[in-house]
Structure 1
Amino acid sequence: MRYDIPYAAKGQVIGLLGGSFDPAHAGHAHITREALKRFGLDQVWWLVSPGNPLKEHGPAPMQTRINQARHVLQHPRVQVTGIEQRLGTRYTAQTLRALQQLYPAQRFVWLMGADNLAQFHLWQDWRDIIMSVPMGVLARPGDRISARTSRAASLFSPYRIPGRFSRRLARAHAPAWCFVNVPMMDVSSSAIRAAGDWSA
């Protein structure tokens, strides 16, 4: 099955939001719009993953999740892609290396919710991720304290850009990361799956 290869003009700064998007929902759309604004990004790509190695059960079919994601957020500066399937990468560090080879004229910023920063040290080659691209972290409900006191946040605290200077992140050189507080939206994919409602 073919999955769209995202396009970016030379010199653009691309925010990467990875996940299973099982399903995509208004919370994903919300933090994407905030990331575009807060971090001064030219685009955001949603990287719909074949599967999350940290999750026990597999997600819904790839094309189903891509279609849902495109329904949830239609934005001229957001592209939804299943490029990880084409690249054959399973872990974020692998995906970043592959994208940097494919798009040498673009700059990437890894985006995540604060809940992911709290357990970021469990990710495969997580230090390589921090050392390869700047990271933008957006606060989500209930995860601010655990994220700010996480292992990754503590080890890389000297490289943190204060939230009031968040737009500097797009042009920063790794390692660099920025934690911003955004108006919060308490919605999750797991809750939507449990309710059996993919229209959220």
Structure 2
Amino acid sequence: MTVGLFGGSFNPPHDGHRLVAETALRRLGLTRIWWIVTPGNPLKDHGALRPLDERIAMVRQMASPARSDVTAFEARYNVRYTADTLALVKLRRPDLKIVWVMGADSMATFHRWQEWRWIADNVPIAIVDRPHSTFPALASPFARRYAFARVAQEDARVLPYRQAPAWTFLFGPRNGTSSTGLREAVHVPS
């Protein structure tokens, strides 16, 4: 079974998130995608963070039930960092072929993540293009350091079976919706 792990605050989830998940499912030929709703991103302000249960419910409404699972196991296991999440999944489900899925906006700052090199060295990564993020992502420290491990998007279906480091950048339709923009729109005076 091939599973894409798509983590985030999803505060709130939006069509851009759905497009990333659906693109990864289709282009990588994944069996399932797990939406991992984090208790809180260590690199983001938690002041405007909606309650975890509320965000899980919103993701469940958005995610395609046919091939998606929505989980908050990071909260259950008191896991804070993606590297720890991936280590836990690999330990508990060694039978799975997993791929970390993220938008290009996250790739641009991936080098700031806790143990980002461990992640890249241990789990294949699929990056889905996002508006205004293509060039920052492809010029990022991650992209430069791991240029040798890039898999052409035409060969993306092999990514779940590749040994890390391995990554691909998937170009295609993009959706400009952002959680930050949605939160800011709520606070705009009329």
Distance in 2 between the 1:40 and 1:173 partners?
17
Q: Report the Cα offset of residue 196 of structure 1.
A: 2.3
> Does structure 2 retain, via aligned residues, the 8 Å contact 1:16–1:108?
yes
1:77 aligned onto 2:70: no
CA RMSD of aligned residues (A): 1.1
- 2:9 maps to 20
- 1:177 maps to 167
- 2:20 maps to 31
Q: Counterpart of 2:10 in structure 1: which amino acid?
A: F
Unpaired segments ≥5 residues, structure 2? none
Q: Counterpart of 2:103 in structure 1: which amino acid?
A: G
Q: Report the Cα offset of residue 102 of structure 1.
A: 1.0
- 2:135 maps to 145
Q: Quick check: 56-65 or 85-94, which moved more?
A: 56-65
Other structure's SS at 1:75 match:
coil
1:136 aligned onto 2:116: no
- Of residues 49, 53, 68 in structure 1, which corresponds to 2:42? 53
Which whole-Å deviations, capped at 9, do the CAs of 1:72-93 have from their partners, x for residues lacking one?
A: 1233110111111111110000
Distance in 1 between the 2:93 and 2:22 partners?
23
State the percentage of identical aligned residues: 41
Q: Report the Cα offset of residue 98 of structure 1.
A: 0.8
Other structure's SS at 2:91 match:
helix
Unpaired segments ≥5 residues, structure 1? 1-11
- Of residues 179, 183, 187 in structure 2, which corresponds to 1:189? 179
Distance in 2 between the 1:66 and 1:31 partners?
17
Q: Report the Cα offset of residue 109 of structure 1.
A: 0.2
Number of aligned positions between the proteins? 186
Q: Counterpart of 1:111 in structure 2: which amino acid?
A: V
1:97 aligned onto 2:87: yes
Q: Quick check: 28-37 or 70-79, which moved more?
A: 70-79
Distance in 2 between the 1:67 and 1:132 partners?
31
Q: Counterpart of 2:168 in structure 1: which amino acid?
A: C
Distance in 2 between the 1:135 and 1:123 partners?
14
Q: Report the Cα offset of residue 171 of structure 1.
A: 1.1
Distance in 1 between the 2:12 and 2:120 partners?
27
- Of residues 7, 23, 30 in structure 2, which corresponds to 1:41? 30
> Does structure 2 retain, via aligned residues, the 8 Å contact 1:20–1:50?
yes
Which whole-Å deviations, capped at 9, do the CAs of 1:109-160 have from their partners, x for residues lacking one?
A: 0001111111110000000000111000000000111111110100000000
Distance in 1 between the 2:32 and 2:46 partners?
31
Distance in 2 between the 1:16 and 1:30 partners?
14
